[in-house]
Amino acid sequence: MIYLPITSLFAAAFAVALVLLSVPVTLRRIKVGDLVGDSGDEKLHRRIRAQGNFIEYVPLGVVTLGLIEAHGAAAWLVLAIGGALALGRLLHAVGMLRANAPLRGFGMIFTYLALVGAAARLLRDAGYW
């Protein structure tokens, strides 16, 4: 059996982060009385998008992280890619919730770097590079 301690640590942290992004959405939905849409409420809309963007990027990030770890990548590389993904998601969420475009932008850059870095390593490991 393959044990992926670094990916497991990041997956656990991302699971907690998703709950931390989801609870405020639920609470705001209750407050505005809209359990499906956003009722035009800007605060709810930002919370929904912060949560949604997290959900859009983190699953693939964790899968690629697990694959590079399973392929035997050095621990520093797995930590660097996982750290870039985590930093990217944190910056993006804070930027989204506070309407701070530069933070969101830096968050996306770190997220993209993590995904492209993992993809490059996977392509190298598969002999395509």
What pLDDT score does 108 carry? 98
Residue 28: which CATH number? 1.20.120.550
Residues 32-50: what's their mean pLDDT? Answer: 90
107 Cβ neighbours under 8 A, 6+ residues apart: 87, 88, 89, 90, 91, 92, 93, 94, 95
- In angstroms, the Cα distances linking 85 to 24, 29, 116 are 22, 28, 11
Structural domains in the chain (count): 1
Mean confidence (pLDDT) of the chain: 96
Q: What is the pLDDT of residues 75-123, one digit of tens each?
A: 999 999 999 999 999 999 999 999 999 999 999 999 999 999 999 999 9
Domain of 44? 5-125
CB 87 within 8 A of CB 108: no
- Alpha carbon distance, N-terminus to C-terminus of the chain: 28
Residues 68-74: what's their mean pLDDT? Answer: 97
Please give the model's pTM, rounded to 2 decimal places: 0.94
Q: If pLDDT is split at 50, 70 and 90, which confidence band does 37 have?
A: confident
High-pLDDT (> 70) share of the chain, %: 100
